[in-house]
Amino acid sequence: MLSLTNKRILLGITGGIAAYKCAELTRLFVKAGAEVRVAMTQAATEFITPLTMQALSGNRVHLNLLDTEAEAAMGHIELARWADLVLIAPATADFIARMARGQADDILSTAVLASSAPTAIAPAMNQAMWADPSTQSNLEVLHDRHYHVFGPATGEQACGNVGLGRMLEPAELTELCAGLFETDFLAGRHLVITAGPTREALDPVRFISNHSSGKMAFALAAEAVSAGARVTLISGPVPLSTPDRVTRIDVESANEMQQATNAHIEDADVFIGVAAVADYRPAEISPEKIKKTDDVLQLKLVKNPDIISEVAALKSRPLVVGFAAETSDIVKNGRQKLQEKNLDLLFANKATDTFNSETIAVTAISPDEERELPAANKHVVARNMLQLIADQLNRSP
């Protein structure tokens, strides 16, 4: 499946008639999962409007190098840093020559020069201009600098000539761009991950909670994005930064986590219940701070929803992965949880070894086998966990 999930593409449009193809090209990029920002030369705006490109990309179009408002928001250097790929389409003979000379006199040429991302050009020009020794010499310079050259194609041109010089079609350019990235083993998949503890209020200032740091779930979210997945991270209260390109939803209680899960599970391919959801909550929440009066305070607790079991019981459900943080009989208790909750896969570990730690060792338990994942940094282990999850997805009918 063609996928550009989570990829950031800076599409540079220069002044050629083939600029009209950039509307369809942008639509295909977005459909393949990419985020697209557009930078246009002044000449390009004569062929296709910035308003059209803004509507299709969903982002403001960058036009001027010295735009005060743009520099305050995402300037040309930040735009260059943002991109995973820079594609110049169409790339006119003039712009190719400017790239070869290293010019930086407008927003697009400056972004190209400042970017360390892979850069590709899709040439589009008259067949005589393409064949001219100056153009071919400029292309040799770009080849030596490891720029990718997509095309051109042969065919009838706007001037009436026939020959090399037509810009490749949008579908072909989309495929070529996707091919520049390593194959991602979770490309195009949607993962919903729960993280951290929940807090169950006793009164306005006190709550019941646990020691979960959320680090394992956040590592899984970050590594899933790197593997090409779209990630929704539903997190209890933890002081962790949101991983890049992850959609984060903050919640407090188990009921809030249940509601957020229900709202996002419909199109999920995988649900990973990492959160240490409180098993019980106070039957009543005092509207005022509970005063210290008696030597003994009795609390009545009621069961919280079992979120992962509810997901596993759905008629049309994703692959369901659980975690078991145990203090004894780790594998035995983990397998029991796997069976009782009807999970597809479960990772069991010793609870006291993982809270607030940067490393973890787990046992992966499925209905058919058990596999040890030795102690390592949580990001390393997360990558191995996700590979096992991908293997399960590939075996699913």
Whether 3 shows a pLDDT value over 70: the answer reads: no
Tell me if 336 sits within 8 A of 344, measured CB to CB.
no
Provide the token pair at 247: 């959609």
At residue 156 the predicted structure's pLDDT band, cuts being 50, 70 and 90, is: confident
Residue located via tokens 């890049």: 244
Q: How far is CA 40 from CA 10, 123, 161, 318, 383, in A?
A: 10, 15, 27, 42, 39
Give the CATH number of domain 8-179; options: 3.40.50.1950, 1.20.58.1690, 3.40.50.720, 3.40.1440.60: 3.40.50.1950
At residue 259 the predicted structure's pLDDT band, cuts being 50, 70 and 90, is: very high
pLDDT at residue 113, as a whole number? 92
- To the nearest whole percent, how much of the chain has pLDDT over 70? 93
Q: Which of 157-161, 167-171, 305-309, 333-337 has the lowest mean pLDDT?
A: 157-161
At residue 1 the predicted structure's pLDDT band, cuts being 50, 70 and 90, is: very low
Provide the token pair at 23: 């509307």
**Catalytic status, residue 159:** yes
pTM of the model: 0.69
Q: To 10 degrees, what angle do helices 170-179 and 21-31 make? A: 40
Whether 355 shows a pLDDT value over 70: the answer reads: no
Give the CATH number of domain 190-395; options: 3.40.50.1980, 3.30.70.580, 3.10.129.10, 3.40.50.10300: 3.40.50.10300
At residue 182 the predicted structure's pLDDT band, cuts being 50, 70 and 90, is: low
Q: Where are the domains of the chain?
A: 8-179, 190-395
Q: Are strands 359-365 and 345-350 parallel, antiparallel or unpaired?
A: antiparallel
Identify the active-site residue in 55, 159, 171, 290. 159
Which string of DSSP letters, residue by residue, matches 256-307?
HHHHHHHHH-TT-SEEEE-SB--SEEESS--SSPPP--SS-----EEEPP-H
Q: Which residue has the higher pLDDT, 354 or 317?
A: 317
Across the chain, mean pLDDT equals 89
- Same topology, domains 8-179 and 190-395? Answer is yes
- What is the Cα–Cα distance from 303 to 282, expressed in whole angstroms? 9
Taking alpha carbons only, the member of 48, 42, 1 closest to residue 22 is 48
